[in-house]
Amino acid sequence: MLKKTSHFIREANFIGGAWVEADSGATISVNNPANGQLIGTVPKSGRVETRRAIQAAEEAFHSWKRTSADHRAKLLRRLHDVIMDNQDALAELLTLEQGKPLAEAKGEVGMSAAYVLWYAEEGRRVYGDIVPSPWADRRILVTKEPVGVIGAITPWNFPSSMLARKLGPALAAGCTAVAKPASQTPFSGLAWGVLVEEAGFPEGVVNIVTGSASEIGDELTENHLVRKITFTGSTEIGKLLMQKASSTVKKVSMELGGNAPFLVFDDADVDRAVEGAMIAKYRNAGQTCVCTNRFFVQEKIYDRFVEKLVDATQKLNVGPGLEEGVHQGPLIDDGAVRKVEELIADATSKGGTIATGGKRHALGGTFFEPTVITGANPQMRIMEEEIFGPVSPIFKFREEEEAVELANATSFGLACYFYTNDLGRAFRVMEGLKYGLVGVNEGIITTVEAPFGGLKESGLGKEGGRQGIEDYLDTKYVCIGGLGL
Ligand code: NAP
């Protein structure tokens, strides 16, 4: 039976299959960024509740790891179906707490289900090796085993799919999990508790704790029972977690910040480039790790590209995500708006010109006008800092090498995009860009089948693809001797 949105709003932690409050009874308020209204509250938990969740996950691990891959695949397929049956309700919940347009929220929920389905199948293909032995009477086996309890910490910008990319492979591999969703969007995370319950997962296989990020993070990183930390969020917190996880030598995978360049060469199809630019920039109001942060456009095509991009940007409909026909919702909070304002002020003080937008939207709150800034240059803060808002700074370049050099002049290395119709250039530039994800003549490339992950300070490890399950597995070498052969 289809469930209403309210069915998925749980104001409690999910530990060992039970819905429980924080010991202190303290809570965190969750507000709708489109109108500031209170949606509900979630527990403000700390180390004690997290330790309990880890204990529950450890107990569940003993039996979960012994289930067959086929059994886990069946449960994951059921989980996929429960998500898709409730796609509308889950999308509405996501828009309520995160702000993105409903169509984007539906897309995200669909993506979550797709990750679960993908790993339902990948879990059945976790192969080991039999290695030719240098000894006549011994045999060498290499086996793969689930790492154990994993700790998953996720951000507010994709509160459903970022968890799916972690829970999907973890559960398929035979791991159990303690998840900590972002405090601004915890309901889409807690909804996974309802979903796994309804799909029939055993108690304790998935546990979800909300509350103090530093306390929960400290327990997850320092507790010996947790064998892996998987984090999506800012590079700053990622580095901190890596340091803390070193105290117990855990595996870590990190999906961190980005600073995506978008290169448009003179030979590109301008209309296609603008279409890609709109998705790569303004999706989720520019609040994605793979959002274009810097446009580099070759001089001969510059004016035409700017004109068309400005035109398309002015057509974006800004409003509450639940309203029909809205392309861009509010930013997550006032801090995000202030950061965008600061970066725009910095850019204009260093020679940039606002071609459209540039200020808070007339709707008030945290709505912001979709913005284009021309005449961008490397002295501006946007050259290195993530904007995380609907602002397109456009740099002009002359030579291909110069563009690649500018694109790589950042400590980040997550996504990049470029547009050209020259095949030789496509290979040269693709090979020259130091990024984990490259879109050639495409502005949106994330898909469950492909390994998603950054280079340099954008992270470690991959999510999605056949590679995405590796991080949840330990490799064991077994030497069987005395065979008398
Ligand atoms: P964030 O501030 O790093 O927060 C992410 C998560 O970490 C939240 O759950 C947060 O909890 C938690 N956290 C904060 N401080 C912590 C601590 N000391 N110990 C443990 N956990 C802690 O990032 P955000 O602002 O939510 O997300 C935006 C960032 O994520 C951007 O940099 C973006 O590029 C990146 N991102 C990367 C990817 C990718 O795949 N590479 C995908 C999406 C987003 P609270 O909410 O309770 O503070």
What are the pLDDT digits (tens) for 131-166? 999 999 999 999 999 999 999 999 999 999 999 999
What is the number of the ligand 1 atom nearest to the C-alpha of 180? 9
Cα–ligand 1 centroid distance for 252 (angstroms): 15
Distance, in Å, from the CA atom of 149 to the CA atom of 54, rounded to the nearest integer, reads 7
What is the number of the ligand 1 atom nearest to the C-alpha of 332? 25
Say if residue 186's pLDDT is above 90: yes
**pLDDT for position 3:** 81
What is the number of the ligand 1 atom nearest to the C-alpha of 240? 18
| Residue with CA closest to ligand 1 atom 13 | 213
What is the number of the ligand 1 atom nearest to the C-alpha of 216? 20
Angle subtended by helix axes 186-199 and 161-173, to nearest 10: 40
| Residue with CA closest to ligand 1 atom 14 | 213
| 416-428 exposure pattern, b = at least 16 Cβ within 10 A, e = fewer | bbbbbeeeebbee
pLDDT in tens, 460-485: 999 999 999 999 999 999 999 999 98
- Residue 159, by phi and psi: left (phi above 0), alpha (psi -120 to 50) or beta? alpha
pLDDT in tens, 394-428: 999 999 999 999 999 999 999 999 999 999 999 99
Best probe residue, ligand 1, of 30, 45, 247, 289 (max atoms within 8 Å of C-beta): 289
Partners of 30 in the β-ladder: 40
Cα–ligand 1 centroid distance for 166 (angstroms): 14
**pLDDT for position 485:** 84
pLDDT in tens, 160-172: 999 999 999 999 9
Partners of 178 in the β-ladder: 151, 207
Neighbours of 338 (CB within 10 A): 12
Best probe residue, ligand 1, of 50, 158, 232, 456 (max atoms within 8 Å of C-beta): 232
Best probe residue, ligand 1, of 157, 254, 288 (max atoms within 8 Å of C-beta): 157
Q: With bands split at pLDDT 50, 70 and 90, how would you rate the model's confidence at 1? A: low
What positions carry a catalytic annotation? Answer: 255, 289
pLDDT in tens, 314-356: 999 999 999 999 999 999 999 999 999 999 999 999 999 999 9
Angle subtended by helix axes 87-98 and 186-199, to nearest 10: 160
Say if residue 75's pLDDT is above 70: yes
Mean pLDDT of the chain: 98
How confident is the model over 91-115, as a mean pLDDT? Answer: 98
**pLDDT for position 84:** 98
Percent share of the chain, pLDDT over 70: 100
Say if residue 390's pLDDT is above 90: yes
How confident is the model over 370-378, as a mean pLDDT? Answer: 98
Outline where 256-362 has alpha helix (H): 270-282, 299-314, 334-349
Question: DSSP character for 330?
Answer: -
Cα–ligand 1 centroid distance for 257 (angstroms): 9
Best probe residue, ligand 1, of 41, 234, 387 (max atoms within 8 Å of C-beta): 234
Whether residue 171 contacts residue 141, with contact meaning beta carbons closer than 8 Å, is answered with no
Q: With bands split at pLDDT 50, 70 and 90, how would you rate the model's confidence at 310? A: very high
Among 326, 313, 484, residue whose Cα is nearest residue 305: 313
Number of H helices and E strands in the chain, helices first, is 13, 20
Cα–ligand 1 centroid distance for 147 (angstroms): 23
Q: With bands split at pLDDT 50, 70 and 90, how would you rate the model's confidence at 111? A: very high
Query: Who contacts 356 (Cβ-Cβ below 8 Å, separation ≥6)?
Result: 310, 313, 314, 369, 370, 371, 372
Whether residue 143 contacts residue 173, with contact meaning beta carbons closer than 8 Å, is answered with no
Among 240, 239, 204, 211, residue whose Cα is nearest residue 225: 204
Burial of 209 (0-12, 13-18, 19+ CB in 10 A): buried
The residues lining ligand 1, judged by C-beta closer than 6 Å to any ligand atom, are 153-158, 162, 180, 182-184, 213-214, 217, 232-234, 237, 240-241, 255-258, 289, 386, 414, 454, 459
How confident is the model over 284-297, as a mean pLDDT? Answer: 98
- CA 263, 265, 267 angle in degrees (round to 5)? 150
Cα–ligand 1 centroid distance for 232 (angstroms): 6
Cα–ligand 1 centroid distance for 157 (angstroms): 9
How confident is the model over 41-51, as a mean pLDDT? Answer: 98
Cα–ligand 1 centroid distance for 285 (angstroms): 17
Distance, in Å, from the CA atom of 16 to the CA atom of 102, rounded to the nearest integer, reads 32
Q: With bands split at pLDDT 50, 70 and 90, how would you rate the model's confidence at 123? A: very high
Q: With bands split at pLDDT 50, 70 and 90, how would you rate the model's confidence at 2? A: low
| Residue with CA closest to ligand 1 atom 8 | 182
Whether residue 195 contacts residue 169, with contact meaning beta carbons closer than 8 Å, is answered with no
